[in-house]
Amino acid sequence: MMNKKDSIEDYLRPEERVDELHRNNYKIIQNTNKFCFGMDAVLLSGFARVLPGERVLDLGTGTGIIPILLEAKTEGKHFTGLEIQEESADMARRSVAINKLEDKVDIVLGDIKEASAIFGLASFDVITSNPPYMNHSHGIVNPGEAKAIARHEILCSLEDVIREAARVLKPNGRFYLVHRPFRLVEIINTLTAHKLEPKRMKLVHPYIDKEPNMVLLECIKGGKSMIKVDPPLIVYKEPNVYTDEIYDIYGY
């Protein structure tokens, strides 16, 4: 637990800012020169189901946005974020402290590829992940290391994320993932290879007449083969104006 601070500004480092999360008056520290959370993380927090008393792990938590939002939105018992970048983990810990959530949210510095060694097998009821979307074949790597690691499979692969999620999940535990639709075949093949059965899918479209650019998946460890496709989520009803569902997810 961090020492008591006099004001929010005492938690900040140079070039950092505090943003409102519109849930429980919670706030989060961000650095625009590094990596700020995106809509995908917020949508994942709205898609994931966490039941009372459950323990949750977020793989690759960045600045801790998903554990903090899930603590606000659900009655889960405890939330842990695993993050390999020390600077991001430090920001996440300070955001936890600003919101006085030290008893409910832990931020652990560590490698996704070693999650099962860090936490032990079958140790969580729910796993979430907003992993890097691009592998070595996709796109130009960002010049800033923090952004590159967050967006490209530099330090971990899709296989790493799914393998470790399967290992740390309890039997019948739930894994929630946000990713890009163009990798959906690879994603589902990898999930089923690790006994994580996709049970629910929602496609996210920027506009009602545009192709989806995100996919949300709920998987059950050891589940039977059957998937439900939810109605699509439309982000904008017109330029710069969110749909009502998006406003609801954000808590506006």
Residues 104, 84: contact at Cβ < 8 Å? no
42 to 38, 102, 198, 246, 247: CA distances (angstroms): 7, 21, 21, 10, 11
Question: Looking at the domain assignment, is residue 67 inside a domain?
Answer: yes
Question: Looking at the domain assignment, is residue 191 inside a domain?
Answer: yes
Q: What is the pLDDT of residue 154?
A: 52
Residues 121, 165: contact at Cβ < 8 Å? no
Strand partners, 127: 57, 175
Question: Looking at the domain assignment, is residue 70 inside a domain?
Answer: yes
pLDDT in tens, 57-85: 999 999 999 999 999 999 999 999 999 99
Residues 79, 112: contact at Cβ < 8 Å? no
pLDDT in tens, 82-123: 999 999 999 999 999 999 999 999 999 999 999 999 999 999
Question: Looking at the domain assignment, is residue 92 inside a domain?
Answer: yes
pLDDT in tens, 146-170: 555 445 445 689 999 999 999 999 9
Name 74's Cβ contacts closer than 8 Å, sequence gap at least 6.
49, 50, 51
Pairwise CA distance, residues 232 & 206, whole Å = 10
62: left (phi over 0), alpha (psi -120 to 50) or beta: left
pLDDT over threshold 90, residue 33: no
Q: Which domain holds residue 108?
A: 8-250
Predicted confidence band of residue 252 (pLDDT cuts 50, 70, 90): confident
Question: Looking at the domain assignment, is residue 150 inside a domain?
Answer: yes
Question: Looking at the domain assignment, is residue 20 inside a domain?
Answer: yes
pLDDT in tens, 207-238: 999 999 999 999 999 999 999 999 999 999 99
Q: What is the pLDDT of residue 140?
A: 47
Place of tokens 């490698």: 111
Question: Looking at the domain assignment, is residue 145 inside a domain?
Answer: yes
* CATH number for 171: 3.40.50.150
pLDDT over threshold 90, residue 47: yes
Among the listed residues 147, 60, 68, the one whose alpha carbon sits nearest the alpha carbon of residue 101: 68
Q: What is the pLDDT of residue 3?
A: 53
Question: Looking at the domain assignment, is residue 31 inside a domain?
Answer: yes
Question: How much is the mean pLDDT over the chain?
Answer: 90
More confident residue, 175 or 8: 175
Total domains in the chain come to 1
Q: What is the pLDDT of residue 138?
A: 47
